[in-house]
């Protein structure tokens, strides 16, 4: 039986993590699918033994303005539709420096004022697609599709504007398109810029979200698959023995380590202050006879030096293990995940007894290996507060928590020691039960079978839509 050809659009590094560095290529081949990676990143996928065709994305400038207008207009619509002011918190001000930025902002503002509600949003979506149809980029995508004749085009991320042209070109040629919603918090933020024939989502919770936010999408267009990003945590073969791990990363094997996972500077502008508070608590515990250490894993796209001082002041307590992402020429938007870093993250989880952070999905990474999470939820004592991180827990995606007991809550600096003690002494049964229940709400179980389910759904769609075309 002839293999069915599937183009997988890789618009960014996250897509590499989910659909190249997982079991997806292997599972897809087992389903009789020929995978061709349509790659917009600088990563050399061919070096992995996979076939790739380079995408050279050049979206039109006006398309990006339509996208910006769509996002704000959509957030306004969500706010009014659901009578919920939280959607205003997802808006970020654009730079107004220079006449070009001022002109762009003026255009976006007028588009937002003109195109409102479901009908206005429909116009903005159509304008994004029509704008890209006028680009040389779209014409090149169309040529590739006409030459290669794939049976289906799968977009690995719903957000990037550089994926509009290839998806639109496929639809214009009558090729079935699918799109993966890559993160648990994306839909309330109005980040969906790709319109496809089908959508793959993490679970029933996300499916309901997608249908609520986008009533023009029909239920049969949404397929529940889970996400591949957690599969690595169920592979015991990637684990490094503790002694070797400690030697490799200069850790003290006599200590019990917690992980402090850093956030990006927008989410947590005072992250270094919270790390200092945790380090101070650990120092206090150790002065009383405990043997506790901190593994600090910074956010991979945070290339700042904001942690340098606290890392210097608490060298006995903190060991920094940097993510093994590509350098990205020291630019946050060009750093790329690696297979090695996925293995490193799993080993950090394995050799830590808990994770402390602000509102991170790392709660699920740790839950995958039966480790608890503590969320920081207080205002630090600083002179100039840039953000009250407590408001993050009001965001829509945290409403998937059922009882707020899925994590330890650190509601003040004084709570840090208690959270550490409870986790270190294995008083975690209830928290772990609740965190795993939360994980089941967010993601489809079994969590290590997402690549297989995604491949199977793609296979089914290829054959189903192929019959319909005949």
- What is the CATH code of the structural domain delimited by 4-59+135-227+447-469? 3.40.50.2000
Consecutive 10-residue averages of pLDDT for the chain (470 residues): 90 95 97 97 95 96 97 98 97 87 94 97 98 98 98 97 98 98 96 97 98 98 98 98 98 97 94 98 97 96 93 98 77 75 98 97 97 97 93 96 95 97 85 96 97 98 70
Q: Given strand 256-261, what is the order of strands in its sheet?
A: 318-320, 292-297, 256-261, 355-357, 373-376, 408-410
338 close to 325: Cβ distance less than 8 angstroms: yes
Looking at residue 470, its pLDDT comes to: 42
Q: Is it true that the peptide bond before 446 is cis, omega within 30 degrees of 0?
A: yes
Spatial neighbors of 410 by CB under 8 A, at least 6 apart, are: 356, 374, 375, 376, 377, 378, 416, 419
User: Residue 97 has what pLDDT?
Assistant: 87
Query: What is the domain partition of the chain in residue ranges?
Result: 4-59+135-227+447-469, 61-128, 232-442
CA 123, 126, 128, 132 dihedral sign is negative
Contacts of residue 100, defined as CB under 8 A and 6 or more positions apart, other chains included, come to none
pLDDT of residue 327: 65
What's the topology of domain 232-442?
Rossmann fold (3.40.50)
pLDDT value at position 424?
A: 83
Nearest to 444 by CA among 207, 179, 191: 207
Is residue 286 within 8 A of residue 425, CB to CB? The reply is no
Residue 332 has a pLDDT of 44
Q: What is the predicted pLDDT for the residue at 351? A: 98
Q: Count CB neighbours of 214 within 10 A.
A: 18
């Amino acid at each position: 039986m002839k293999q069915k050809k599937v183009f997988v659009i890789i618009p960014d590094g996250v897509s590499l993590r989910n659909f190249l560095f997982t079991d997806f290529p292997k599972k897809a081949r087992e389903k009789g699918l020929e995978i061709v990676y349509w790659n917009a990143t600088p990563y050399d996928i061919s070096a992995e033994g996979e076939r790739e065709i380079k995408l050279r994305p050049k979206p039109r400038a006006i398309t990006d303005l339509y996208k910006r207008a769509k996002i704000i207009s959509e957030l306004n619509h969500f706010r009014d539709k659901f009578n919920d002011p939280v959607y205003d918190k997802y808006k970020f001000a654009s730079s107004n420096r220079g006449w070009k930025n001022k002109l762009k902002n003026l255009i976006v503002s007028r588009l937002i004022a003109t195109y409102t509600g479901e009908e206005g949003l429909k116009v903005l979506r159509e304008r994004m697609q029509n704008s890209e149809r006028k680009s040389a980029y779209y014409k090149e995508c169309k040529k590739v599709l006409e030459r290669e004749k794939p049976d289906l085009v799968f977009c690995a991320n719903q957000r990037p504007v550089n994926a509009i042209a290839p998806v639109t070109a496929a639809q214009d040629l009558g090729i079935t398109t699918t799109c993966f919603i890559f993160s648990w918090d994306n839909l309330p933020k109005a980040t969906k810029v790709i319109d496809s024939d089908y959508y793959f989502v993490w679970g029933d919770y996300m499916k309901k979200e997608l249908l609520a936010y986008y009533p023009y999408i029909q239920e049969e267009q949404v397929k529940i698959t889970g996400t591949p990003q957690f599969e690595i945590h169920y592979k015991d073969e990637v684990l490094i023995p503790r002694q070797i791990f400690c030697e490799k990363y200069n850790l003290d094997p006599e200590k019990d380590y917690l992980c402090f996972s850093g956030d990006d500077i927008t989410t947590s502008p005072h992250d270094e202050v919270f790390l200092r508070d945790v380090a101070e608590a650990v120092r206090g515990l150790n002065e009383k006879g405990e043997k506790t250490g901190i593994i600090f894993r910074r956010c991979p796209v945070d290339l700042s030096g904001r942690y340098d001082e606290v890392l210097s002041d608490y060298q006995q307590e903190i060991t920094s293990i940097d993510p093994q992402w590509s350098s990205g020429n020291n630019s946050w938007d060009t750093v790329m995940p690696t297979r090695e870093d996925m293995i490193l993250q799993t080993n950090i989880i394995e050799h830590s007894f808990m994770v402390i952070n602000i509102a991170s999905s790392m709660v699920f990474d740790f839950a995958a290996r039966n480790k608890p999470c503590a969320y920081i939820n207080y205002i630090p004592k600083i002179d100039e507060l840039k953000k009250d991180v407590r408001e993050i827990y009001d965001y829509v995606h945290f409403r998937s928590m059922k009882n707020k007991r899925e994590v330890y809550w650190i509601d003040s600096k004084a709570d840090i020691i208690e959270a550490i003690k409870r986790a270190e002494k294995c008083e975690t049964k209830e928290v772990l039960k609740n965190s795993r229940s939360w994980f089941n709400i967010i993601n489809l179980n079994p969590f290590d079978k997402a690549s297989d389910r995604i491949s199977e759904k793609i296979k089914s769609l290829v054959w189903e839509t192929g019959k319909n075309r005949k």
